[in-house]
Amino acid sequence: MGRTGFFPSKYVSRLNNGERPLQVTHNLQVTDGDRGLKLLRDQIVIQVGDEIDGMVMIRNGDHQQGVCPTKYLQEV
């Protein structure tokens, strides 16, 4: 059985309508314009937009966004 307790709120993120958590399956670098976003295997990211042609807009815990291929993401 799980344990009960407290932990810092900075490790929790509230999801907005239409957002869903995803897990990164491979280390990769994604870009959104001129900025790069490094994603690590097993990292949890938030899908913030609809999937279009196998790509989806994601957000990490630092609120950085980028477009990532869905083949590197799985539902949590």
Structural domains in the chain (count): 1
> Could you read off the pLDDT tens digit of each residue along the chain, which spans 76 residues?
788 888 898 878 788 999 999 999 999 999 776 778 999 999 999 999 899 999 999 999 888 999 999 999 999 9
Q: What is the CATH number of the domain that holds 36?
A: 2.30.30.40
Which pLDDT score is estimated for 34?
A: 74
> Would you say the C-alpha torsion 29, 31, 34, 35 has a positive or negative sign?
negative
Which pLDDT score is estimated for 9?
A: 86
Closest C-alpha to 64, from 31, 40, 15, 42: 31
Q: Is 4 among the domain residues?
A: no
- Whether the pTM exceeds 0.85: the reply is no
Q: Is 66 among the domain residues?
A: yes
Q: Is 63 among the domain residues?
A: yes
